Each structure stands twice: as C-alpha cells, then as structure tokens.
Amino acid sequence: MLYTRNEISKKYKSTYQLNKALNNKEIFKIENGIYSDEEYVNPLLIIKKKYPNAIFTMDSAFYYWNLTEVIPNQFSLATKRFNTRYKDVDIKQYFIKDNLFEFGKTTLKVENVEINIYDKERMLIELVRKKSQIPLDYYKEIISNYRKIVNTLDPFKISNYISYYKNDETLYNRVQSEVY
C-alpha cells in the first residue's frame, strides 16, 4: 500500500519512529513524500497516488487503449488549466480548460491498477485536433487502428464531444474522412 507523508505520519508518530521503520525495512521511501510497505511499486500506482485528479491522455492513452505499439517515454497526464505544474520528469502535463476537462473521463485497468483515462472517442477527437503536432507515421498507425475498431466507437459521444470545440464542423469532417 502507498502512503503520502501525512498518511505515514499518522502511523509513525515521529520522524524517529519513521526512520526506525525505514531502517528496519518495515516501510520503504519510494520518493519524496511517497512511502510504501512494499519495496517495489508499479509506477502507475505512484502516479495515481501523487496525482489523483489527473487523467491519462495522448501518448499514454493511445498506448493503454492498444491503439499504438509505441511505448511512451513519459506519462501523459491531463490536468485542469490552472492546476499546479508537475515537476516530475516522467510526466508530460497537458493543461485542459475546466469545461473540457471531465468529458470522456473513464477508468481502465492497466497492469492491475485502475487509472483515470479519456475514453477512445475523446482520444480520437484529441488525435485529429493535434494532427499537425504528431509525427505522421505515428498518426497513421493510430488512425489505422481506429478504423479497425470503428464499429465499437459511439458516434453520438463523438458528436457530443466535438460540439464543445469552436471548430466543431472542421473536426467533424476530419473524423468522418479519416476514420469512417
């Protein structure tokens, strides 16, 4: 189980007791402010503990939804626009407007960890929105995989999600021409 510094302080009442537990390997310091009763912890559990309100997006979401075979070198997390900036080098943070942040949020079990992630429909819209910022080969791979699962996508969700954006007609036409 993972603990924050505040949570571990309730179990070990003083720094002396905590240091004693660390030396006796009753508890392990994973990183600053994160402790565990296991020596090795899945990085997804750490991310979930440190950033409970963040949502996996872009490269991470494409990988976890099996839309690409490219393993991301960083975790891509979406946060609300005015959230604090994460200083973790393993994280690429995307700031999302508050009114766009929640829609498409779902959970997915990855490596026995249930994570917050945007659904496939939301990720399709993000993909076509950011087409010019994504390497062409990578884009083609993901679009090709979307075409294979087109029957599992919810077109009503896609239309609803697109309606939140200013350039909704352009996005709708791009999704139609690229995937359907």
Torsion of CA 28, 32, 34, 37, to 10 degrees: 0
pLDDT of residue 55: 98
Q: Are 56 and 117 in contact (CB under 8 A)?
A: yes
pLDDT of residue 143: 98
Average pLDDT over residues 102-124: 97
Say how far apart CA 39 and CA 16 lie, in whole Å: 20
Nearest to 79 by CA among 95, 92, 91: 95
CA distances in angstroms from 19 to 8, 164, 180, listed in the order given: 11, 51, 59
Q: Where are the domains of the chain?
A: 2-41, 47-178
With tokens 């939301």, the residue in question is 122
pTM above 0.75, yes or no: yes
pLDDT, tens digit, 9 for 90 and up, residues 17-59: 999 999 999 999 999 999 999 999 999 999 999 999 999 999 9
- Name the region of 154 (left: φ>0; alpha: ψ -120 to 50; beta: rest): beta
Say how far apart CA 146 and CA 174 lie, in whole Å: 13
Given a cut of 90, whether residue 180 has pLDDT beyond it is: no
Residue 113 binned pLDDT confidence (cut-offs 50, 70, 90)? very high
